[in-house]
Amino acid sequence: MTSISIPGNWQAADVEAMEGDFDDNMLQFLGSFEEVLPDGIETAQTTKKGKKEKKKQKKPFEEKATEQLSDPAEIKSVEERRLAKKQKRKEQMAANRKQKKERLAKRKQKESEAKLVEPIEEKVKKSGETKKRKGEKSEESGKSKKSKKETDISAWKQFFFLPNEILQAVEQMGFVSCAELTKLSKFLFSFSEPTPIQSAVLPVAVRDHQDVLGAAETGSGKTLAFGIPIVARLLESSAENDEEEEFKGPRALVIAPTRELVIQIMRHITALIAPTSLKATSIVGGLAQVKQDRVISQQRPDIVVATPGRLWAMMQEAEEGDYLAEWKNLKCLVVDETDRMVEEGYFAELTHILNRVHEESDKEKLQTLVFSATLTFAKAQDVAEEEKKKAKELSSQQKIQRLIKLTGLRENKHKVIDLTRQMGTAGCLVEARINCGNLLEKDTALVYLLTRYQGRTIVFVNSVDAARRLYSILKAINSDPMILHAKMIQKQRLRNLEKFSESSNAVLIATDVAARGLDIQGIDHVIHYQVPKKVEIYIHRSGRTARASHRGLTVVLVDPPSRQFYMKLCKGLNRMQDLDIFPIDFEPLMIAIKKRVRLASEIDSLGFRCKKIKMSESWFEKAAREADLDYDETRNREMGGLNLEVDSMIKKSRQLQAELRSELSVALPRSDGSDSMRTKYITPEIVSRLRSVGDNAIDVLNQKIEETKEWKRKSRKAAQADEMNTVKKSLKNSQKNKDRLAEKKRKERMVKKSDTAAENN
């Protein structure tokens, strides 16, 4: 150790010298340090330094080192050690950089996972309190972990007949994000209290073991209303029968119409059976049937959640002794979304499944639970063509009786629970319409709603072609929508749903495959781009928002071709008057959007026509090649004309694309009018000139409705005042006429009196 002492208030420090030599490259980092000396030392040191420079000039460090080493072998060994140290240091630095990247990647991964589990927090307004914010987040995450263990489920204890395993599962589900249950959302959903449909169903289904035909509005918790009775019944039967049979088939079967609904039901049931030893699996189309059959035969689950098409196909191929060939142990049967299941396309497969189940199972011990959000709107499809008109005119009670017979509910041991409103839609749902004169106005109104009001929005259409057309138009104007329809593969459908649920400002263009049972929390708006042709479809579409007592908006775009369906819709919903008109409160934005939508629509139509011509050409060429035929001159001229037409359309499309790019380069006008003001400083006068506009579509609609009511009230008051003034004026005129006539008669009498007096004289 070498001791270095510095005069003044500085303390002595021990410095350990490093072995080996140093060069300029190793000491380059010293150039960034600033020399700091105590007071009174600077002049002395500078004088000493000057004297030393005068006496003797210092030699470079490398020259001094080489002078001390006279042997060439020693010089070579020193250089090798120096190079080895350089290489070692480079490797160490590279390893440090690699470790830093790995730490950053792990930190990002933990943050992304924490976003899925942590509850949604309000944004912090003060940007300078970063350390405090981190401490608050850690405390809140600790509280959320404790809340999962200490969730208050006292409201569930009224159901004393529920097994402890179910209460434990409900306690674990007490305050979890729907991302854990459905993998579709980050919004909180409370299971601390039972919903009305759950309170009504559980005593009947679990305690009394009765069949249930239940109906409640969308988003009311119907999944747990039949999921809890299933688990309770299986736990009860397991306690009664300790011995398990060698070839045991399903003990509970849940049938749902769509793949997405099956996956959602599967999430809830998986959470319910977590504290138990029960197993559950799903059977859906779009995936490999062989793999599903192998998984089922290996796992042999207690609960099967399936779509009717794939389930019936696997039941037909099942041999004697297979898992799906044994139905004698079935204890619970659930048919979800009954009204959709009895429609064409599902009814035949569902009938086959129900017949097979009822034939092989014990009907007296089989408990059947049937649920729907539009129970009274269901139309049976097992009637003949000549009876369809009569079936449409059946009352609600007759429709319920027909469904009871169809699903095989026990006659003397069932109960109907209908909690739906007379209007069919949820109580928190706000409904409105926009009248459109043509297709361009409809497209413009749609883009206006998506641009003006931020939020998670589902746009429903009636066909796959309409969905693809809207998708291309929105893509052309730099929007980023997701699409969902029946012709997509299952993985792509699930991927789009996950992307849609992860973003707070996303657009999903969907057909009616997303209309039923899809539980994505936090959907702000539902837009019916095409008016649904059935009332129950409208109810299920609109039910994607306004779930769990949250507000939601649904808007119907009505054009002349769909006017008749809109009138039929209002009549079916028992509406005495039309829906409120949604306001277009910023006309400059509407005009700017209309130009973009017109160009994008023309580009899409040109592309579709070109594709159609090319497809017809390829078909004709293929047919001619297979028949070994040559083209004649007429066909060559036709093909030449078609090629010219395609070239002209491509040229026009490029021109339109250039116009659209120039249009997109200009920013859209802001709704508050701040983009039209040019000022260097913000003053109170400028702030007062800004338009006060709302960003929430429901608040804007309610404000417009209140303004309309106020305007109508003032108009009625003014009309009444005008009417009173008119009456007063007419009364005054009539009084004047009466006075005039009386004066005239008085004058006539005076004249007569004077005349008679003159005659007497």
For 618-627, the pLDDT digits (tens) are 666 666 656 6
pLDDT above 80 (res 288): yes
Exposure on the CB side of residue 677, measured as CA atoms within 13 A: 17
Task: Give the start-end residues of each E strand in 155-292.
Answer: 175-177, 188-190, 211-215, 252-255, 280-283
User: What pLDDT digit, counting tens, does each position of 366-390 carry?
Assistant: 999 998 877 665 444 444 444 444 4
pLDDT above 90 (res 303): yes
Question: What percentage of residues in the chain have a pLDDT greater than 70?
Answer: 69
pLDDT above 80 (res 214): yes
Least confident of 22-26, 227-231, 628-632: 22-26
- What local confidence, expressed as pLDDT, does residue 751 receive? 85
CA distances (Å), 520 to each of 97, 114, 186, 492, 514, in order? 42, 20, 9, 17, 10
User: What SS3 class is residue 633?
Assistant: helix
pLDDT above 50 (res 420): yes
pLDDT above 80 (res 188): no
Give this prediction's pTM.
0.63
Scanning 393-459, the segments in alpha helix (DSSP H) are 396-407, 439-452
CB 557 within 8 A of CB 528: yes
Backbone angles phi, psi at 683, to 5 degrees: -115, 165
d(CA 419, CA 195): 11
User: What pLDDT digit, counting tens, does each position of 60-106 carry?
Assistant: 444 444 444 455 566 667 778 888 888 888 888 888 888 888 888 77
d(CA 177, CA 116): 7
CB 694 within 8 A of CB 553: no
CB 82 within 8 A of CB 18: no
Q: What is the mean pLDDT of the chain?
A: 76
d(CA 267, CA 272): 9
- What local confidence, expressed as pLDDT, does residue 490 receive? 81
User: What SS3 class is residue 283?
Assistant: strand
- What local confidence, expressed as pLDDT, does residue 41 receive? 44
Read out DSSP for 95-108? Answer: HHHHHHHHHHHHHH
Residue that the structure tokens 């109104």 belong to:
445
CB 324 within 8 A of CB 306: no
Question: DSSP class of residue 578?
Answer: P
User: What pLDDT digit, counting tens, does each position of 254-283 carry?
Assistant: 999 888 889 889 989 999 999 998 999 999
User: What pLDDT digit, counting tens, does each position of 488-502 carry?
Assistant: 888 888 889 889 988
